[in-house]
Every structure is written in C-alpha cells, then in structure tokens.
Structure 1
Amino acid sequence: MRTSVAVLVELQRDAGAGGHVKCWERFAEAAARDDPGVDLTLYVLGQRDGVEPLSDTVRFVTLRPMLGDGPLARLLGGVDATDLAPYHPGLAVRLRKHDVWHLTHAFAFAGTAVRLAGRLPERPGMVCSLHTDVPALTAAYLRQLRMPGAVADAAAALARRRRDRLLRACDRVLVATPPERGEVEAVVGSGRVSLLGRGVDVDRFRPDPAARARLAARHGLGDAETLVLFAGRVDASKRVMVAGEAVRRLRADGRDVRLVVAGSGAAAGPLSALLGEGVTLLGRLGQDDLAEVYAGCDMLAFPSRSETIGNVVAEAMACGLPVVLPEVALTTTWLAAPGRDGVVVRRDDPDGWAREIAALAGDPARRAELARAAVATSRARHRSWSRVLAEDLLPVWQETAGRQVVRRSIS
C-alpha cells in the first residue's frame, strides 16, 4: 500500500510564482515521471478550488485562502501571496486521509496541521522543510513599508517564535544547507534534522552560444555592453538595490555596463529611477525564457542574504553564467571552489560589488574560465530533481510514516 503524503505549499500557484512553488512543481513532475511508490498531493492556494492531476498518484489541489494577503502582496510589489488565517477548515477535512503531513511554510496551512494534530489521538507523521527565512523577510518587508526598525525587529522575533513552535511539533525538519542544521537542532534537538537539497534541470538550463544575439536583438542591447543579470523577486529582501547601485557607480565611471533584471517587485521603479537607460526590466519569465536570459548575459549578481539555498544560482551555473555572491550567503554552498567556479564578495556593500563586477567586466578571459568551471561543477555535483526526491525526500517520508505506524500499533 502506498504511503499518502500531503505537501502543504500554502502559496499561490500561478505563472509568476517564486522559487518555493517552482521547487515543488519540479518535485511533483519528478514523482509523476518516476513513480517512486508514494501517493503525493500538493496543496497550494488559488482563486478557486480545484484538482490538477499530474499522474494517477500525483496531483495539485488548489484551495482558496480564508484570509488572503493579496492586497499586502500587491503593496509590497509582488510578494508571493499566502493565507494569513489561523486555520483552514477545508484543508483540515482533507488532511485526515494522509499518512504524512509535510509543512513548507509558517502560515494558515501549517497552523492548521499543527492544531489538528493536537486534536487527533493518532496523528500522521509530520515533516517540515525550510524554504524561506520568514523572520528575515518579515523584517525586510516592514522596513520596505517604512516601519520603524524596532517594529520590524519585534515582528521578526515574533515570526521566529512562531516558526520554532511549528518546527518543534514535527517529527523531522529538513534544511537546505549544512550551516542551517546547527541552528535548527538548537530548536528541535539533535537527530531530527536532515538535508533537503534542490535539483537543477540541465536539459533546460544549459550553455547556449546563440542566446546573446537573440537577447540583444529582442531588447535592443549593445554588442559591447557587459550584461549583469539579477534574477528573482525585485525587492528589498533580495537586496537588488545593492546590485543597482554598483552598476550605477560603474556607469558613472564610464563603463559600458547594463543591469538586466528578470523578475518583478516593488524595487522595479526605484531601479529604473536610479539607472534610467542603464537597466532592462524583463519582468517575470517562464523557465525556458529565463534559461535563455541566463545563457545570454555575462554574469549573475545576486546579493540576497535571505535565501535558504537560491536555486537561481544553480540554474545560472548550469547555463555557464559566472555568479557573483555575498561571502556570507548560503547561496555559496552551490560552489565547489569559490573564486574558481564563482565569485564571492567579501566587502558586501555597493563599493565591494562594483569592484568585483568591474573586475569581471574588464576580463573576458576570466569570465570564460569561470563559466567553464561553473558548468563543470553543475554537471559533477548538482543533482537532478529526481535524485533529490529519491535521496532526500522519499526516505524521510517513508521513515516518518513507518514510525507513526509502529506508534499506533503499540498504543
């Protein structure tokens, strides 16, 4: 009999959804293709209730939010929409049929699971994976709304306490990188934390020598320009203005550098005001279009510190795009040899970013060397979504379900 797994994504799933949703779309596609022996239901938010089957044993179930944060998301410039209600009764009814509940966020769906678990005499196994640093994002967004720093810090602390309560309610917690393990073990105890990596589709994301010409023709880019790409949500949480200010300083010094932005968010307007003709805003892109943009640019500048892993880095490396990352960010875990297959910025301010970008802009040979090393690392070390599903997720689901079955039989 198949283990029935419910994954509670609790974000709106649409064409513009961010990396959290895309991650679970890739895992669902892998499960539908590989049939790993579980029955998998992924619960997401949407405008109307519905079911989208990917196979006989894999499906997305869309539920309308009880208290959607759509207006707030729009105010913040496109933040992924979630459900701020404390409980979702429609989800609660559906959860009872599953053997494993897998939480991935910290709002209505997760709160519903924990509340329901406390009422059931024999609850299913519970797993949680951390995809977003919710406390850090809470502080960043409140500052974006011009709230006082003390208010932002207090809200972040409250979000951390709520997250930690959810983690302690779970049998297993999955983190994206080794540095996170110690922090989470301090909350839930040792022996309950393991790694959940991310995959990359190297058939979609790959070097394409013709991509630059197509990109330039489509968007009127100059042949001699150095194209510095930022990909992701365009807001304060990703520190996109750091990249923008670095490019502004280089342009003021007479360097032919352009910032190309793939994504949308509240900082799009300020970036345009800062850089004028020096920025190209592409908006949200589908995966195939994004792959072409990666392959057509000269480097990825990704100053974000809030990522748990940052899949855009792996995608860019697979396309042969040199990546420039903050030294302190977890995104650097994608690199096998920092300095050889990617650049880390030690002085993490606009001056430091301008210096590293300028060095790469003026050295095409080094960019080519970094590109070759990035592709080599991608092929040798970065796993497919199917492998991550088989190696990191399935054993945890099966172990958690098995442990709960034993507990029931003893009680």
Structure 2
Amino acid sequence: MPSVAVLVELLRRDTSGGQVKCWEHFAQSAARLPERVPICPEGTPLDLTVYFLGERERVEHLAPHVRLVMLRPVLTSAAMRSAEGAEDVCDLAPWHPRLAARLPRHDVWHLTHSFAFAATAVRLDRRAARRSAARPRLIASVHTDVPLLASVYARYLAGRWLPGTHPALDDLLADRVENRLRGRRDRLLDRCERVLAPTPEGRAELGRTLGPDRVAVLRRGIDHALFRPDPGARAHLVREYGVPADRPLVLFAGRLDATKGVPLLTGSLRLLRARGGAAHLVTAGTGAEEDAVRRSLGPDVTLLGPLPQDRLARVYAGCDIFAFPSRTETSGNVVAEAMASGLAVVLPDGAHTTRWLAAPGRDGIVVPADDPSAWADALRPLVEHPAAREAVRRRAVETSRTTHPTWDRVLEEDLLPVWTPPARTPRRAGSRTSERPGRAP
C-alpha cells in the first residue's frame, strides 16, 4: 500500500480553479476506492494525502486512508495579483519547512507545480541521493502552461506598476519570465521518474525531451451526477440573477483575462449584436478584463463572479451556449462540464479543448480563426436557430455520457498504475528531516 503525497501548491477555497478541483475530485474518488476495488490484505490499495495552500493550517479527512492538508504559504504571491485578484495564489518561497517535515512519511511524491512545494521535494530528494539514503519515487503531472500564463500576467503587472512603458519592454519582460519559468519547470520534470501529460499531444511533446518511456497521459474526469441537464435551471437563473428569459444565454466560465480569449469573445458578441443577433453573455469568474467586458456589452452581460461548483453546475444547466476561445488550456475541464450540462460548446480550431468533441460540427462547433468576425459567424446560427442549437446540445450530452470518463475511472486507470510500482529503495524508519536544505533546483 503506497503512501502518496500530491503537492498542489495553490490556495484551496470554494471558488478555486480547475487544478484544485481536479485533485479534490481525485481525493474523493480515492476515498471511495474500498467500495469499488476488492480489499487487499493491507485494507485499502492506497493511502493518499493531498497538500494544498490554505489561509490557515488544517487537515480534512475524507476517509481513514485519504486526507487533504492545507499549509500556509511561506512567501505568498498574493501581493503580485492584479486588482481583481483572479490569478491563483501560489508560494514563491524556495523552501517550505512544514511540508519538508511531513514529506518523508510518504513513499511517492507527486509534483503538480514548480514553486515552493516542488522545490522542497526536489531538494529533499537530492539530499537523500547525496547521502545514499532511502529515496521517494518522484512523479509529476502537468496541469497548465504556467510559463505562458506568467508571461501574460507579466504584461498586466507591467501596466499596473510601470504605466507608460514601451510595448517592446513589456514584451521583453514577458519573454524573460516565460523562458525562466519554462527552464525551471523542465529541470524539475527531469528529476521525476514519471511525468503525466494532459493530452496525447502533450505526451509526445514532453517525450521528446524526457524520453517517451517516462511520459504517460493523465486524463480529466467528469462528475455526471453534478453536471447534467436541468430543465428548471433557466427559471432559477432568471429569478436569482435577473438574466433575460427571452434570448439565448452564452456562458463563459473562467478567468476574465487575455489568457482565456475574453477580449476576442467580447468583440464577437458586440459584432453579433451589430448584425442583429440577440444573445446575452453570462460570465462566471473574475479577472483583469472584467471592467472592459462590462463597458463593452453593458446590459447584454451578467457578471456573476467566481462561483462554487454546486452553484456553477446550475448556471451551466440554465444557459444555452458555452463559448470558450482560450488556447492556453491543457485540458479545459469547463468544456466537459458544459457538455455534460447540455450546452452547445464553441471552441477554437486546434485548441486542446477540442479533444472533448467526438464529432466536431455536430456535438460542438469549432471556429477556424481567432477573430471576432469568425466567432460571430459561428455563434449566429446557434443564437438564431433554436432547432440547430438543440441538436448540438443533445449530441453534446450523448458524447459526454458515452466517451468522457468519470473521475473514478481516471484514478484507477491513469494514476494508480503510476503510483503503485515498488519504490526504487525501501524506506527506512526514523529518517531525519531537519538538516539544512541544499541548493534550489
């Protein structure tokens, strides 16, 4: 029975983003494992601890063999967030002593990011290697393109802290941030025995650097009980949020910033309105483009802010179309949630999010170009022709039910086989953890 530590160095709260929600789902699935998997002699096939950042330190037990641990950050990135505070909070410290004291009790250390938690794990592993001591198995999974996102946020922060600078300087800063973080991420991944990528394309890309035998795919699941069509959800949205009842609702869920294509979506809806299309935008999330969206669309947009999963599920089910122009997603679980809820999804051609479609053009619409005119052209038939919209919605639900895996299935097929092989070196009891850490990765 392996003891697995998953290191999710993001702040956990009700409105956290997809990476936090992903590991919450995996933990809940692990808590149900004894119900689905025959009991082994040890009593359960897995002991799992998922470490998050938290505003206060606490432990949440989901089962005797599964727990969530929240640790306060040492050097929080909160001060570097935009005024809207939409970006995920991480820990920028090179060493996290509270995590370092806990890690040696686990056999498998699973990295999911490239900041304080990951740096601490790699430092401990390097120290054990120098001492020829018992070492953990290092695993990693890639959930988002952090270097690319950081480059976009660098431009936002330059505009906030250094207003009036030349665009070329902003580009130089963004490029340096991206290159530095990409190099750091790759060095961390190179320390790992196995690396999990979110798509086959991502697996091939990482395999060229790390070797194809070290890289596998970690899919995303869907909770079909939570995300499903609900005929009464539209009336609920009208009553609770005041959205119009007489026109199609176009939903966007995620950060309202350039990384998600929000300016493109806003421009396309303005153009659609100019062409006579009557649609109303609903957004769930916040971000740097929030005020711009409000100014641009006025009464044709309802901004709900960040929502917890249960409320977000009802918002999905109450809308008609899910428009998601983002090209930075590695998985885009919001697309799977929208399809399970019965929305007609509209996605950029070539984006990783299109992998959720089984029959592009039938169970979802793919837009060939990233410009407002192309997006307005794609949205207009769905807005103006209810029968066409309903046909796409029905096929989306069918694709979701027949091809999108549950979180239970992904845990058992993608994660357990990676976590359960025997460790390279048997762990010795009573290993010391208080020595001074070595150099940062």
So what's the TM-score if we normalise by structure 2? 0.89
User: What is the one-letter code of the residue matched to 2:70?
Assistant: T
Q: Is this contact kept in 2: 1:76–1:141, CA < 8 A?
A: no
Which residue of structure 2 aligns with residue 224 of structure 1? 246
Structure 1 residue 97 and structure 2 residue 109: aligned? Answer: no
Which residue of structure 1 aligns with residue 315 of structure 2? 293
Structure 1 residue 355 and structure 2 residue 377: aligned? Answer: yes
Matched residues in 2 for 1:13 and 1:173: separation?
24
Match for residue 173 of structure 1 among 195, 206, 215? 195
Which residue of structure 2 aligns with residue 132 of structure 1? 144
Which residue of structure 2 aligns with residue 81 of structure 1? 89
In structure 1, the residue corresponding to 2:204 is in which secondary structure? Answer: helix
Which residue of structure 1 aligns with residue 424 of structure 2? 404
User: What is the one-letter code of the residue matched to 1:3?
Assistant: P
Matched residues in 1 for 2:425 and 2:323: separation?
48
RMSD across aligned positions (CA): 1.5
**Offset of residue 406 of structure 1:** 7.2
Match for residue 144 of structure 1 among 149, 152, 156? 156
Match for residue 59 of structure 2 among 41, 46, 51? 51
Matched residues in 2 for 1:405 and 1:335: separation?
43
Structure 1 range deviating more: 121-130 or 249-258:
249-258
Which residue of structure 1 aligns with residue 2 of structure 2? 3
User: What is the one-letter code of the residue matched to 1:61?
Assistant: V
In structure 2, the residue corresponding to 1:54 is in which secondary structure? Answer: strand
User: What is the one-letter code of the residue matched to 2:424?
Assistant: Q
Structure 1 residue 69 and structure 2 residue 69: aligned? Answer: no
Matched residues in 2 for 1:75 and 1:192: separation?
40
Matched residues in 2 for 1:350 and 1:84: separation?
37
Which residue of structure 2 aligns with residue 392 of structure 1? 414
In structure 1, the residue corresponding to 2:212 is in which secondary structure? Answer: coil
Structure 1 residue 265 and structure 2 residue 287: aligned? Answer: yes
Matched residues in 2 for 1:288 and 1:90: separation?
32
Q: Is this contact kept in 1: 2:136–2:423, CA < 8 A?
A: no
Which residue of structure 2 aligns with residue 115 of structure 1? 123
Q: Is this contact kept in 1: 2:229–2:341, CA < 8 A?
A: yes
**Offset of residue 258 of structure 1:** 1.1
In structure 1, the residue corresponding to 2:213 is in which secondary structure? Answer: coil
Q: Is this contact kept in 1: 2:260–2:326, CA < 8 A?
A: yes
Matched residues in 2 for 1:209 and 1:387: separation?
28
**Offset of residue 316 of structure 1:** 0.5
User: What is the one-letter code of the residue matched to 2:135?
Assistant: R
Which residue of structure 1 aligns with residue 41 of structure 2? none
Name structure 1 gaps, 5 residues minimum: none
**Offset of residue 219 of structure 1:** 2.2
Distance change (3 Å), C-alpha of 1:161 and 1:389: same
Matched residues in 2 for 1:63 and 1:217: separation?
39
Q: Is this contact kept in 1: 2:265–2:372, CA < 8 A?
A: yes
**Offset of residue 222 of structure 1:** 2.4
1:110-167 CA-to-partner distances (Å, cap 9, x unmatched) read 1111111100132100110001101110111112233611211121111110110011
Matched residues in 1 for 2:241 and 2:57: separation?
38
1:172-207 CA-to-partner distances (Å, cap 9, x unmatched) read 000111111111112211200101111111111111
Matched residues in 1 for 2:89 and 2:53: separation?
8
* Same amino acid, percent of matched pairs: 54
Which residue of structure 2 aligns with residue 15 of structure 1? 14
**Offset of residue 73 of structure 1:** 2.4
Structure 1 range deviating more: 71-80 or 82-91:
71-80
Matched residues in 2 for 1:375 and 1:87: separation?
45
**Offset of residue 42 of structure 1:** 0.6
Structure 1 residue 158 and structure 2 residue 180: aligned? Answer: yes
Matched residues in 1 for 2:77 and 2:315: separation?
31
**Offset of residue 403 of structure 1:** 4.3
Matched residues in 2 for 1:40 and 1:257: separation?
46
Matched residues in 1 for 2:427 and 2:108: separation?
14
Q: Is this contact kept in 2: 1:141–1:236, CA < 8 A?
A: no
**Offset of residue 405 of structure 1:** 4.0
Matched residues in 1 for 2:278 and 2:360: separation?
26
Structure 1 range deviating more: 171-180 or 263-272:
263-272
Q: Is this contact kept in 1: 2:14–2:309, CA < 8 A?
A: no
Q: Is this contact kept in 1: 2:87–2:287, CA < 8 A?
A: yes
User: What is the one-letter code of the residue matched to 1:122?
Assistant: A
In structure 2, the residue corresponding to 1:395 is in which secondary structure? Answer: helix
Matched residues in 2 for 1:209 and 1:233: separation?
27
**Offset of residue 327 of structure 1:** 0.8
Q: Is this contact kept in 1: 2:134–2:426, CA < 8 A?
A: no
Which residue of structure 2 aligns with residue 364 of structure 1? 386
Name structure 2 gaps, 5 residues minimum: 35-43, 160-168, 429-441
User: What is the one-letter code of the residue matched to 2:6?
Assistant: V
Matched residues in 2 for 1:17 and 1:368: separation?
31
**Offset of residue 77 of structure 1:** 2.9
